[in-house]
């Protein structure tokens, strides 16, 4: 959860309603105020797979929160509260409303430092850290052969993705593939697309760290000299590798879960996220 500057006003004067297309411009302005890099296209992608709530006063957006349900798991994301609302209960009101959309199953989110205390009060438990890396990509030779995939590959890639993270995301992966590039290697895949200030690589799903490194190196090669971002679970152990590709560690967040489903083991691991919002 992040905050942004705005004139002080009581939270109880704000209306909580469903987030719709008519609110995207206001949501975009709010995310820019808090320093997030999202473009309108990034908000649009998130909303194609999400429901959301928005806090408004008149036509002005003062807070947002989204719920992206992928099978039995819901990801709570895009939680932004105007700075003028801090300490006035708006964050809690937004969370109560958006959690109602994900009720009945496991919920996950990636917390900022500001949002962490509220999420802990709501019962979310920290599981691991997410490391955000970005910078001007440097070229590197992949350790293994990497080729291009197509939308026709998405069905089997979605099966690999589900085994890695437990999310039913075929629809999301189809949308990303239609916008960007699909990279394939024996034992894994990665997506590369425009996002924020440049490009983002993710998800990266593989059955071996060497496969993940090859996919990331191929993405960096394609973006050499351009801005590239990647969000890594700390446990992936790839921070030093991506730093050598020009992607410095610039922050991150804390992955949290509420009412987790029993853990399942599989051959595949998520080495990089679609985004901190969409897992």
As a whole number of angstroms, the distance between CA 130 and CA 232 comes to 6
Whether pTM > 0.85 for this model: the answer is yes
Check whether 10 has a pLDDT greater than 80: no
Domains of the chain (ranges plus CATH)?
2-123 (3.40.630.30), 132-252+261-272 (3.40.630.90)
44-58 pLDDT, tens digit each: 999 999 999 999 988
At 4, the pLDDT band (50, 70, 90 cuts) reads very low
| Residue 263: DSSP 8-state | P
Q: Which residue has the tokens 């996002």?
A: 195
**How high is the pLDDT of residue 8?**
45
As a whole number of angstroms, the distance between CA 169 and CA 65 comes to 20
**How high is the pLDDT of residue 2?**
58
Check whether 141 has a pLDDT greater than 90: no
**How high is the pLDDT of residue 264?**
83
As a whole number of angstroms, the distance between CA 199 and CA 218 comes to 13
Q: Which residue has the tokens 């797979």?
A: 49
At 7, the pLDDT band (50, 70, 90 cuts) reads very low
At 143, the pLDDT band (50, 70, 90 cuts) reads confident
Q: Residue 76 is encoded by which pair of tokens?
A: 């709570």
178-226 pLDDT, tens digit each: 999 999 999 999 999 999 999 999 999 999 999 999 999 999 999 999 9
């Amino acid at each position: 959860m992040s905050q942004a500057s705005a004139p002080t006003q009581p939270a109880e004067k704000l209306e909580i309603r469903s987030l719709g297309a008519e609110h995207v411009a206001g949501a975009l302005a709010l995310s820019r105020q808090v320093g997030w890099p999202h473009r309108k296209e990034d908000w649009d992608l998130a909303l194609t797979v999400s429901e959301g709530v928005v806090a408004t006063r008149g036509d002005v957006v003062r807070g947002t929160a989204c719920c992206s349900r992928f099978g039995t798991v819901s990801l709570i994301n895009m939680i932004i509260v105007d700075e003028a609302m801090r300490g006035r209960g708006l964050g809690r009101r937004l969370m109560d409303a958006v959690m109602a959309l994900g009720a009945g199953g496991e919920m996950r989110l990636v917390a900022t430092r500001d949002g962490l205390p509220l999420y802990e009060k709501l019962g979310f438990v920290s599981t691991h850290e997410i490391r955000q890396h970005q910078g001007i990509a440097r070229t590197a030779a992949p350790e293994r052969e990497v080729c291009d995939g197509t939308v026709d590959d998405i069905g089997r890639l979605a099966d690999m993705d589900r085994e890695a993270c437990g999310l039913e995301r075929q629809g999301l992966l189809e949308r990303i593939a239609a916008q960007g590039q699909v990279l394939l290697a024996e034992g894994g895949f990665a997506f590369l697309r425009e996002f924020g200030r440049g490009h983002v690589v993710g998800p990266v799903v593989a059955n071996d760290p060497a496969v993940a490194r090859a996919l990331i190196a191929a993405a960096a090669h394609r973006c050499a000299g351009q801005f590239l971002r990647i969000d890594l679970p700390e446990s992936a152990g790839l921070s030093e590798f991506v730093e050598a590709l020009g992607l410095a560690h610039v922050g991150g967040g804390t992955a949290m879960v509420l009412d987790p489903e029993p853990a399942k083991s599989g051959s595949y691991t998520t080495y990089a996220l679609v985004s901190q919002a969409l897992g």
